[in-house]
Structure 1
Amino acid sequence: MADKRAAGGGGLRSRLTLAFLLVGLIPTAVAGLLGVRQSLQISQAARLESGERLLALSAEAVAATLKNGLDVLQAAGEDEGIGRAIQTRDRSRLTAEVRAIRQHTPDFASVLVLDTMGIVLAHSLDPGVVGLDLRERDYFQGVIRTRTPYISPVPLVGRATRVPTLAIAAPIWNPERALVGVITGTFTLERLSQLLAPARVSRSGGPGRGTEQGEVYLVSPSGVILAHTDPSKRAAQVAEADAGARAVLTGRRGSITWENEAGEAQLGIFAPLPDIGWGLVYTHSYPSWGSAVMDVLPGMLPALLVVLALAAVAGTLAARTLSRPILDLQQAAFRLREGEFATRLPEDRRDELGDLSAAFNRMAATLQDLYTNLEAKVAERTATLKATNLELARASQVKSEFLGRMSHDLRTPLNAVIGFADLLLTQQVGSLTDKQQRYLGHVANAGRHLLVLINDILDITRVEAGKLEIHPELCHVPTILEETLALFRSQALAKRITLAVEIGSPLGDLMADRIRLQQILHNLVSNAVKFTPEGGIVTVIARQIGLELELTVRDTGVGIPPEDHQRIFEVYEQVGGSEGRQKGTGLGLAITKRLVELHGGSIQLESAPGRGTTFMVRMPGATPVEAEPEAADASRPVVLVIEDDLRAAELIRAHLTSGGYRVVLVATGHAGLGAARRLQPHAITLDLGLPDMDGWEVLYRLKREPATQSIPVVVVSAQERGELGLSLGAVDWLAKPVDPQRLLAALQRCRALGAMRRPLRILAVDDEPVVLEALEALLTREGHEVLRAENGEEALRRAAAERPDIILLDLHLPGLSGFEVVNRLRHTAGMANVPVIAFSGKFISVEERNLLTQQAVQFVGKHGPVTLNRLLDDLRQVASLEN
C-alpha cells in the first residue's frame, strides 16, 4: 500500500491542484451569489409594484359596482310609488319595478322586495318566490335593525339563481317617511370575480421565458372568499396558512410572505376596502433562486470557465514543486515503519521542510535506540506477569481448598455443639438450674448464629463462582411460610412486633428449591424483624398472579434512603449510620437477590426513611390452581386417584364408588401433589406412568412432605417393581388390570391403620464420634435402639448381623463411601428394602441426588448444614411408614 501511494504521489498533488481551483472558484461563486441575490430583489420589487397597481384597479372596480348597486336600491327605496304599492299590496306594480331595475342594472343577478315582516312581495326572476318568509336572512334583519343600506358578509345560494350570491339591501320608505319594506339586489360570485379579471395578468419570470398567472380574491369580514380568479375557490373559507387574508381582515394594508398548505413560498399584497369592510388580496409565488440563477448564469459562465482553466494550470505547476520533499518524507516514513531504522533524510534545505527533515532524523535515531532495548524489557515484564498470575492462581486455589474444608470441618463440630446444647436443654440427661439453662441457651443461639454466618459466606462464594446449584421441587407455599415465620415468633414477641400473614386464596404449588425458598423468606423476614422498632408490624403477603408467585414482606421500620436502594443488594453492605447498623455480615440481601435470580425471578424494593420497607419477590413456576371437585356426599371417605389413562381412571372410580368411597380424579403428578395437600384424602391410588413427572418422584414427595406423609398410598401399575414402591412408603401394590376385590381390600387396610408405633433399631453411620454420640442420645430419648458404626465396612457388617429397621448414613466416609454402602445394601439379600436416610455436611451434585432417589434413599441436608432436629424429623417420617 505504501509503494502504491508513493509511486503515484497523486494524493498530495491532486489536493494542491484542487486547492488552487477552489481559490479561483470561490470568488467567482461569491460574485454569482451576489448577482442572484440582486436579481431576486429586483424581481420581488417588480412584483410588489405590479401587485399594488392591480389591487388598486380591482378595488376601484369592486367599489364602483357596489356603490352603483346601492345607489340604485336607495333611489328605489325613496320612490313614493313603490312605497304606496307596498302599502296597497300592489304586487303587479312591484314586480314591474324590480324587473325594470334588473334590466337597467345588469350587475344584479336578481332584485326582490320584502315587507316589514320579511314576506317576499315581488321578485325579478322567479314569481314562485313571492310569499316566502325571509325574515331570517341577514340582509333583511340588518336593514330593519339599522334602517340603513346593508351589505351581506356571507354568500347564500339563491332559489332563483341556483348559484351562490351576495346580497345588498336598502330600506323602502312611504311618503310619511315610515319604513314599509326592504329592497334587495344580489350579485353572483362569478360577477364579482369578473371585476377582478383585470388583475389576472401574466407575471413574467424573466426575459425569454413563459409567464405565470397570479391570483386575486375578495374576502368578507367573516373570512369567506366572495370572489376569486380561480372559480374552484369561491365561497370557501380562507385557509389557516393564508397570512395575507388574515392580515387584511384586521384592516391592515401592505405585503407579506408565507408558505401555503403545499409548503410553497408566497408573496402577497393586501388592501382593505374600508367603506364596506371587505379586503382584497393578491398572491404570487415568491421569486425562486432557480429563476434568479438562470438570469445570471449566461453572463457569468464565460468568466467562470476562464478562471477554472487558469487555476488548474497554476495548481498543477505548484503541486509538482511543493510535493516532492513531502513525498520523500513519506517514503522514508514507510521504510521506518517496515523496520529500517537507519533511514535518514537530507538536511540541505533552509526552510520549514528542512526543519521537518531534521526532526524526522532525530525521531528515527530515538526509535532505533528504543527498539534495541525493547525486547529485553518485554521479556522481563512477561516473566514478572507470569509469576504474578501463578501467585494469583495459587491464592485462588488455597481459598477454594479453605472454603471446602470449612464446609465440613467447621459445620460438623458446630452441629455437635448445637445438638448437645439442645439435648441438655431438654433435661433428658439430668436436671439443670435456671442459670445453666440460660447459659446453654446462649451457647446454642451463638452456635446457630455462627452457622448462619458461615453459610452466608459459603453461599455468596459459590454464587459468585457460578457453582451454586438449585434443585427445584413442588413446594407448598403456605407450609413454608408457616415454618419460616415460626422461627421468628419468639423474637417478634420479645420486641412486641405484630407478625402478620396474608395468603391469597387459592395458591398453587411453586416449582422451586425448597431450602433456597425458605432461605429467601428467612432473610427477608429476619431483616424486617431486625430493623422494625418495638411495637411495629411485619406483614408477609403471598399471592399468585398467573403462573408467578408474588411474595411481599412489608415492615414499619426505619426505612432505606432512595440513594441506597441499589447499594443494599451489594455484598457486605449495610446502609445507615453506625447507630442504625445491626449485627451481621451484610450478605443476606445480596444472597437473597442472587437466589431469586437463579430461579428466574426478580426482587424489588420500595422504601423511604421513616416509612418502612417493602420487598416484593416475583418467582415463576407456580402451578395452575385446580378447581375443587364437587362432593357428592361429604360423609363418605375420599380417595384421590392419580391416573392419566382415562379409561383406567373411570374403571377405578366405578369400583371405589360401589365400595362406598368418594373419588377425586387427577391426571398429572403436579395436580396430584396439590390435591393431596388440599383435600387430605383417606387414601391415594398412584399410577407410575404419569405424563409430567415420574410416579416414583410423586411417591417420594408425598412421603417426604409433613402435610401428606401420613396419607396411605396404593401403587397401581403394570410395572414389576412392587418391592421398591413398598420401600418408598406405599402400603400396597396392585398390578394392572386392577382386581376390584384386591383394590377394596387394600383400601380397607388403609382404614384399619392405627397410630400404633414400635421402637426401632437404628444403625447410625458417621466417622465423627461426637456426631454419633449426639445421635445416640437424641434417638434413645425417642425410645429407639441405636447401633453405631464409624466407617463403611463396619456398617455393612453390623447391618448384615443385626438387621436394623432404618439406617442413618453419612455419605462422605473415609475408605468405603456412603454411596458404595448403599449400592451394596441394595444388592444384599434381606437388606434391599431397608430404609436409608443419607446425610452430608457437604453439597452433592444433581447426578448424585438422582442416584440416591433411584436407590430409594431419602437425603437430608442437600443444600445446607445437617442438624440433629432435621434428621429426627425425617426419621419420624420413615418410622411412621415402617409401623
Structure 2
Amino acid sequence: MSVKTIRGNLLFWKIAAVFCSLLIILGIAYVLIASKLSRSYYMMAHQELYGNVASHLASFTHPLKNGQPDTAVTHDIIHSIMVANPSVEVYLLDTTGKITDYVVPDKSVRQHHVDIATVKQWLVAGNGRRPLGNNPKDPSEASIFSAAPIYENGRLTGYVYAVLSSEKQRAILSTLNSDLSYHLGIYLFLCALLIAFIVGVITFFLITDSINRIAIVVRRFKEGDYTARIEGHAKGNLGMLTSTFNEMADVIVDNFDKISATDKFRQELIANISHDLRTPLSIMQGYVETMMIKKDSLAETERNKYLSVVLESTKKLSVLVEQLFQYAKLEANQVNPEKEPFLLNELASDILMAYQLKATERNIKLSLDAAAGLPPVFADIALTERVLQNLIDNAFKFTPDNGSITVQLKQRDTGVLVQVADTGIGIASEDQAYIFERYKQINNDKLPKKGMGIGLAIVKKILELHHASIQVVSEPGKGATFSFVLPSL
C-alpha cells in the first residue's frame, strides 16, 4: 500500500469518525427528547381520556352520605374502576383536602392530605391547561389527576380525587421508555453509521478529486511545463493551496528568467573578459617574444619602445582587472562606504590634473567649473574619486580629438550637483535606458569597442551606496551630460 493511499484512508476514517460521532450525539439527544415528549404526550392523552372519572363518580355513585364516605357503595365501584384501569387511584376528600377514604393499601399512602387550592384551580381550568396535583403515594412527584365536587342537598360536602398516573402506570411507562430508547438507539446508531459512511465517501471523493487535479498540475510543472497553473478559485485550505502554488510557480518562473538573464550576462562577461584581456596579453607576449628573439640585434631605442608598449599593456590589463574586482565587490555588497566631510572641488581639481597629460595628447580641453563657496560633501572620498574617474574615462572614450570635457559643481538645497559634460558622439534615446547596466556598451560603428562596459554600472552602484541617483541628458552628435547630487553637511 502506497503512502498516498494510507494518507487517503486516514483522511477518510477521520471524516467518517467525525460525522459518525456527530450523528451519534444527535441520536442520543433525539432519544432523550423523544422519551420525554412521549411521556408528556401519554400523560396529556391520559388526562383527556380519564379526566372525567371523578365527575362520573361524584354524579352517579353519591359516595358521601351526611358528609361521611358511603363505604358499602363506593368501595365496590371504585375498586371496579381501578381493576378496569389500574392507572387510576381514587380518593375521597373533605372540603379542606383531607383524605377520608380510598381503596388502596393503607401502608402505601404516605400523604393523607391534598392541596385543596390545586383541586379548585383544576376545576376552574376547564378544558385549558390543567395543573398537576399531589400524589398521596409519592408526595415528591406531581401527577395528573381528575377532581369533582360532591354535593348533598345543594351543599358542598367533599371532593372525588382521582390520580390518573399511578405507580403501576409509571412502571409501565418506564419499561416502555426503556424499550423505546433501546430500539431508537440501535436504529439511530445504524443510521448514523450509514449516513457517516455515505457522507465520508462523498466528502473523501470530492477532496481527493481536487487533490488529484492539483497533483496533476504539480507533476506537469515538475516535468518542465512552466505554464501549468491550477485553475479555479476554491475557498478554504484548498483555495489557499491553489493560490500559494500559483504564486510559487510565478516566483519560480521569474527566478528562472532572472537566472537565464544572469547566465547570459555571465557569458557576455566571459566573452568581454576573454577579448579585453587577450588583447593586452597578446601584445605583451608578442613584444616579449620579439625582444627574446632579437636580443642580440635589437637596438636600444627599439628595446625601449617595446618595453613601453609592454608597460602600457600591463597598465591597461591592471585597469581591466581592477574594474572587474571593484564591480564584483559592489555586486556582493562587500563595499561599505566610509563617509566623511571633504571639499568636492579640491578632489575634482586633483583628478583633472591627473588627466591633463592625456587631454593634451589628444588636444581635448579639460576644465573645472566650480561655484564659489561650495559646502563640504559627506561621502566616501575613494568611492567618489572612482565615480569621477569612471565618468571622465567614459567621456574620453566617446569624445573625439579636439573636443572638450567639463566638470561642473553647483550648490543645491540637498547638496552639491556634479555634472560631467563632453562634446562626444552623444547617446541615442534608445540606448540611454540601459547604459548603466552591467556589461552594456553603446554599439557605434564610428568607435572601436573598448573596455568591458561596467564603468557606468560601477558609478551607479557607488551612488546607490550614497543614496543618490545618476541621470544622463544627451542627443546624438551633441555630446552627453551625466549629473548626480552628493549630500552636504
TM-score, shorter chain, exceeding 0.5: no
> Which TM-score applies when normalising by structure 2?
0.41
Higher relative contact order (CA 8 A, sep 6+): 2
Q: What's the TM-score once normalised by structure 1's chain length?
A: 0.23
Structure with the larger helix share: 2
